[in-house]
Amino acid sequence: MPNLKTKYLGLNLKNPLIVSSSGLTNSVDKIKKLQDAGAGAVVLKSLFEEQINHETSDILRYNDYPEAIDYIRNYAKSNSIEEYLELIEKCKKSTDIPIIPSINCISITDWTSFAKSAENAGADALELNVYIIPTNKFEKAEYYENKYLEIVRKVKSIVKIPVSIKLGYHFTNLLNMAEQIASLGVNGVVLFNRFYEPDIDIENMRIVAADVFSSVADIRHSLRWVGMLSNRISKLDISASTGIHDGKGVVKQLLAGAAAVQLCSTLYKNGFEQIGVILSELEKWMEFKGFTNINDFKGKLNYQEIKNPAIYERAQFMKYFSNIE
């Protein structure tokens, strides 16, 4: 039987399947079930500072005592953070797979203070869930990119555990951004973040949320960049995310150079047992190809290894589909 063990962020994983940050990873019971189903690691559901502030505002809306506002705001925030830290501690006591908290904060102070608290609670690593929407037309791209780097720099200065950052693909030069992140000592990147996207209900003329689940076709968003980053930014471990629904998707990302993959939508659609199905598909493929461990084929089809790396650079349809009417 093939050996599926791998390393991600310096952590030893029994296999490359990580359950990504979601409602699937918000309780000890669920995480124990994910471990039993075969998950190699889990990323806890993100703690969003913005959500805490929003929930606090809802409470304050019905409060007639202005002098209590600061107390209520601090209490609500402290209570949410304490619950999250307790989740980390309980997961570490109840499971033996790596537990990776995910945080999304607004202020630099909160990024660093929570990161340190999560480390103290026993986290094996941290995933920084960062996305800054460029809403000011007068600011240059560099202004927003520097915000990412400032967050990373501050967090890395205060924690010793491995740190990864979950990125979107809306960067002018993703390779350069990854290089700068690596230079700050970050251990890995998650490609890519799946964001809330708006849709319009034309019947009721209102803004609604688009479909939150990925499809198999969505793997194309990350496959190109996993293949390009995996050998050109060697200091970073890559966790591929979005569109990975079966064993084929896992194999593709590992061949492109990913150290691990993150699963979410396929588990919502097919249940936790899908983890075992995917692991079985991965093992069968490895046996068929004669590979005994992940490193035998990891990165064999990345940017450096293939004969024509321009395939990863191709952005237009002209060469491959010009005959399609």
Domains along the chain? 6-321 (3.20.20.70)
Rounded to the nearest integer, the mean pLDDT of the chain is 85
Q: Which range has highest mean pLDDT (39-53, 71-85, 135-149, 156-170)? A: 156-170
Residues 6+ apart with CB under 8 A from 143: none
User: How many residues can be counted in the chain?
Assistant: 325
pLDDT at 63: 47
Run of H or E residues at 86: helix 69-94
Q: Is the predicted pLDDT of residue 20 greater than 90, yes or no? A: yes
pLDDT band at residue 182 under the 50/70/90 scheme: very high
Top pLDDT among 294 and 111 is at 294
Q: Is the predicted pLDDT of residue 144 greater than 50, yes or no? A: yes
* pTM (2 d.p.): 0.85
Contact (Cβ atoms closer than 8 angstroms) between residue 150 and residue 112: no
Q: Is the predicted pLDDT of residue 231 greater than 80, yes or no? A: yes
Top pLDDT among 7 and 198 is at 7
pLDDT at 316: 55
Tokens matching residue 287: 């046996």
Q: Is the predicted pLDDT of residue 77 greater than 70, yes or no? A: no
pLDDT at 169: 82
CA distance 224 to 219: 9
Top pLDDT among 53 and 181 is at 181
pLDDT at 43: 97
Q: Is the predicted pLDDT of residue 65 greater than 50, yes or no? A: no
Question: CA–CA distance from 266 to each of 120, 198, 216, 253, 291 (Å)?
Answer: 32, 22, 9, 16, 26
Question: CA–CA distance from 145 to each of 95, 140, 197, 277 (Å)?
Answer: 37, 9, 21, 39
pLDDT band at residue 286 under the 50/70/90 scheme: very high
Top pLDDT among 173 and 214 is at 173
Q: Is the Cα torsion angle 132, 138, 143, 147 positive or negative in sign? A: negative
Top pLDDT among 105 and 5 is at 5
Place of tokens 């102070």: 109
Q: Is the predicted pLDDT of residue 91 greater than 70, yes or no? A: yes
Lowest mean pLDDT among 15-19, 45-49, 59-63, 307-311: 59-63
Give me the helices (H) in 95-208, please: 108-120, 141-158, 174-183
Q: What is the mean pLDDT of residues 262-286?
A: 97
Tokens matching residue 217: 């076709």
Q: What is the mean pLDDT of residues 286-294?
A: 97
Q: Is the predicted pLDDT of residue 291 greater than 80, yes or no? A: yes
pLDDT at 106: 62
Q: Is the predicted pLDDT of residue 248 greater than 60, yes or no? A: yes
DSSP state of 65: -
Contact (Cβ atoms closer than 8 angstroms) between residue 156 and residue 193: no
Question: CA–CA distance from 170 to each of 48, 68, 191, 219, 315 (Å)?
Answer: 21, 41, 11, 16, 15
Q: Is the predicted pLDDT of residue 218 greater than 90, yes or no? A: no
Lowest mean pLDDT among 98-102, 131-135, 223-227: 131-135
